[in-house]
Each structure stands twice: as C-alpha cells, then as structure tokens.
C-alpha cells in the first residue's frame, strides 16, 4: 500500500512539472503582438526586387516614436504619406519590431461651406 501511494505521488509530481514546462514553452514560442496608432513621420518603402525591408516610424499620441521594419510581404491598406495616421500591427522578432499589417486612416475632407 505504501509503495502504491509513493508511486502515485511520484507520478503526479512528475506530471505537474511536465505540464508546467509545456505551458511555459508554448507561451515563449508565441511572439508578442503590438498595435500602435499614430502619425507617420518617416516611411521608406520596401523593395520587391531584392526583397529588402523598408522602415516606418510612427509617433503615437503620447509623443513616443515607434520604428518598425516593413518586409515586402506586409499588408498595407491605404497610402502611407508623411503626416497620415496609421495603425500598425507588429510582432517582436530578434529584438526588432516587424510590421505584419498597416492600415492608413483616411483623412476626412472638410465639408464645403454652404452658400445661401
């Protein structure tokens, strides 16, 4: 009986540690995803010809500058111009922020003044 209880406790202990290690490994393998919205200050387009990455710098509402690498396969919705408001979805890879998708918020044109 004592042998059975000892074996059961040993099995449960090993199972608990193994499960904890698997969960920690799974969390570590998922890249951190960040979403930043702000005004575009610098945009250098990526080159499709030689598969080089571009660069995008966005200044958020708190005044912090965020710089992203923009690979040629990044989905860009809208036209990136200086001063445009953009939302960047990115992940951290090898210490760099890499854009996965960029959405440009369309600028609303001011309404024409009404004439009487």
What does the pLDDT look like over 6-53, one tens digit per residue? 787 887 787 777 777 666 665 555 667 889 999 999 988 887 777 788
Interval 59-90: pLDDT, tens: 999 999 999 999 998 999 998 888 899 999 99
Structure tokens of 28? 């570590």
Examine residue 80 and state whether it is found in any structural domain, yes or no.
yes
Measured CA to CA, the distance from residue 25 to residue 45 in angstroms comes to 36
Measured CA to CA, the distance from residue 102 to residue 58 in angstroms comes to 11
| Domain shared by 40 and 86, yes or no | yes
Confidence (pTM) = 0.63
List the CATH number of the domain containing 62: 2.40.50.320
Examine residue 40 and state whether it is found in any structural domain, yes or no.
yes
| Domain shared by 15 and 50, yes or no | no
Examine residue 112 and state whether it is found in any structural domain, yes or no.
no
Measured CA to CA, the distance from residue 15 to residue 8 in angstroms comes to 10
Length of the chain measured in residues: 116
| Domain shared by 42 and 55, yes or no | yes
| Domain shared by 47 and 24, yes or no | no
Range of the domain at 94: 33-105
Our count of domains for the chain comes to 2
Cα-flanking dihedrals φ and ψ of residue 111, to 5°?
-70, 145
């Amino acid at each position: 009986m004592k042998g059975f209880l000892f074996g059961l406790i040993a099995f449960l202990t090993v199972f608990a540690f193994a499960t904890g290690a698997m969960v920690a490994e799974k969390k570590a393998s998922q890249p951190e995803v960040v979403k930043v919205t702000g005004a575009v200050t610098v945009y250098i387009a990526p080159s499709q010809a030689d598969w080089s990455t571009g660069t995008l710098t966005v200044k958020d509402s708190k005044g912090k500058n965020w710089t992203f690498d923009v690979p040629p396969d990044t989905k860009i919705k809208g036209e990136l111009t200086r001063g445009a408001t953009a939302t960047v979805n990115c992940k951290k890879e090898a210490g760099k922020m890499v854009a996965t998708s960029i959405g440009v918020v369309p600028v609303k044109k001011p309404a024409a003044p009404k004439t009487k």
